[in-house]
Structure 1
Amino acid sequence: MSVKPNNSPFILGVIPARFASSRLMGKPLANIGGKPMIQHTYEGASRSKLLNKIIIAVDDSKVADVCKSFGAAVMMTPKEVQTGSDRIAIVAKEFPRADIIVNIQGDEPFIKGMMIDQAIEPLLFDPKVNVSTLARKIISVEELTSPSIPKVVFDYENFALYFSRSPIPFVRDAKDENEALELAEIYKHIGLYAFRRESLFRFTSLEQTDLEKWEKLEQLRMLEYGFKIKVVVTEYDTFSVDTPDDLKLARRLYLNLKKKKLKNENTKKS
């Protein structure tokens, strides 16, 4: 169970919800099991024990209206904002009492409150940690080889060394990807970030870097400028919806989870 220490900081969760996604237009409003995707994300985040407040940062009035309809607090942000972190920083400026700001991706409909709490906890108990994120062990070749799933390697203190869309580390002695997963622990990066306030504003004030542009991973900007990112290994998994094919898979996953939940409920009753 997640417990805040004494003199707890105010923790703000921000969910960026960009309507004009280049690969899936209107993504926040995509229907998954009868609800818009952004509502699934919001309801998952709402189960966090550590967040004091959640704001959905939108760039479109249609998304704002839908979010308000299911009871979420909303803030309008400019359409031209480049990244989710930039959008979050805009919201954070309106909440000067927020000590820790959590970037909760709006395209993660299966996010769990416990995952958010796991990412926050290092900042509560270790003053040396200014940014934290999550990782989960990869168990399938599909995840290992997919460029849409970033990988992360980290040191013995769980600080990130590098993120890549390529399989890292390269396991030289493995004859194929299956053997690579047997010989090495390889981790997918889950794009959830907890920032101390000053670290978020410093990060978003910096120019994009070459590695960030090449890999299309904004966390590489942090590493290139010397940020230390604490990586929390989680047992929970999630799924990011970026394309129409991802959306189809998310709908199937939702139905499978719903069936599993009903089966468990019926088993308990019997």
Structure 2
Amino acid sequence: MVLGLIPARYASTRLPGKPLLDLGGRSMIARVVQQARQARLDRVVVATDDERILRHVLDFGGEAVLTRPDHPSGTDRLYEAFQRLGSPPDVHCIVNIQGDEPFIHPAQIDALVAFFQDERTAPDIATLVKPVVSAEELFSPHLPKVVLNHRQEALYFSRHPLPYQRQHPPAEWLAHHRYLRHLGLYAYRPAVLAQLTQLPVSALEAAESLEQLRWLEAGYAIRCAETALDAFGIDTPADVARARQRLAAG
């Protein structure tokens, strides 16, 4: 069984109650659930820290579990949700779907699920990457970049462009190297997810504020699937306005 879990917190500095925001007549969390249900997932569950989100999801026919409000990361919330579901022994893959990406494409989820079809060759962790297409993307610290080895496993994630091209000025970097950015969609084997929640914050994670560096430092392999489809996370009021415009345009 493949289980899709969607962490959804009510608290947000810039957008309180973000999962309940109205986007074209439907809440953001309802749109995320709708997209996830079109992927190759056997079950989709929202993991939330707030009764209002829980009731809302149940009201539109979704499935949700209530988790503690004090988790330091979405990964911890995810694992508590899995435990509250009874840690189903038939689940061989857990997909972590961001609750603030109402336009996530089912094909992006399916690309990660495909890695886990054969349990003998399933990776520890899988995630999604996308080619960088503009200088704005390349130099934005809000869009983490990633470099891979020949097995399509992550070597390092950074908010800085990687690699640094010593022989070319930064304005020419995109012309001389194919850069990849990281999209925050993950899949794990359940036993690995349990182990990840026991790891202490690492030095690289603290420096870059990227949780996946903790996993690399601990020796876990992160296999990456590439997509040409973009991601559209909603973090600011401007993002909300853009999402509503996109929906209005059809």
Query: When the two structures are superposed, what TM-score results if normalisation uses the length of structure 2?
Result: 0.93
CA contact (8 A) 1:131 1:196 kept: yes
Local SS of the residue matching 2:4:
strand
The answer to whether the 8 A contact 1:132-1:232 is kept is: yes
Identity of aligned residues (%): 39
Provide the residue aligned with 2:5 in structure 1: 14
User: Could you list the per-position Cα deviations for residues 26-54 of structure 1 after superposition, in whole angstroms to 9, with x for gaps in the alignment?
Assistant: 11112222221111111111110x21101
Is residue 79 of structure 2 the alignment partner of residue 89 of structure 1? Answer: yes
Equivalent position of 1:192 in the other structure: 185
Instruction: Specify whether residues 70 and 128 from structure 1 end up closer, same or farther in structure 2 by C-alpha distance, changes over 3 A only.
Output: closer
Gaps of 5+ in 1: 1-9, 259-270
- The 8 Å contact of residues 92 and 190 in structure 2, kept in 1 or not, is answered as yes
Distance 1:99 1:58, change over 3 A: same
**Paired residue total:** 246
Note the 1:206-221 alignment, pairs <5 A.
206-221=199-214
1:253 & 1:156 partners in 2: Cα distance? 37
Structure 2 distance, partners of 1:163, 1:248, is 30
The structural deviation recorded for 1:128 is: 5.1
Contact 2:115 2:122 in 1 (8 A): no
Q: After superposition, what is the alpha-carbon deviation per residue over 1:72-120, rounded to whole angstroms, capped at 9, x for unaligned? A: 1010001111111111101112232222111001011111111111011
Contact kept, 8 Å, 1:123 with 1:131, in 2: the verdict is no
RMSD across aligned positions (CA) = 1.5
Q: For residue 154 of structure 1, what is the aligned residue in structure 2?
A: 148
Corresponding residue number in structure 1 for 2:31: 40
Residues 1:110 and 1:174: Cα distance change in structure 2 (over 3 Å): farther
Aligned counterpart, 1:5: none
Distance in 2 between the 1:248 and 1:152 partners?
A: 29
CA distance in 1, matches of 2:12, 2:139: 24
Gaps of 5+ in 2: none
Query: Is the 2:125–2:186 contact (alpha carbons within 8 Å) kept by the matching residues of 1?
Result: yes
Distance 1:46 1:225, change over 3 A: same
Structure 1 runs (4+) greater than 4 angstroms displaced: none
Q: Match of 1:7?
A: none
- 1:143/1:253 Cα in 2 relative to 1: closer, same or farther (>3 Å)? farther
Three-state SS of the structure 1 residue aligned to 2:197 is: helix
* TM-score, length-scaled by structure 1: 0.86
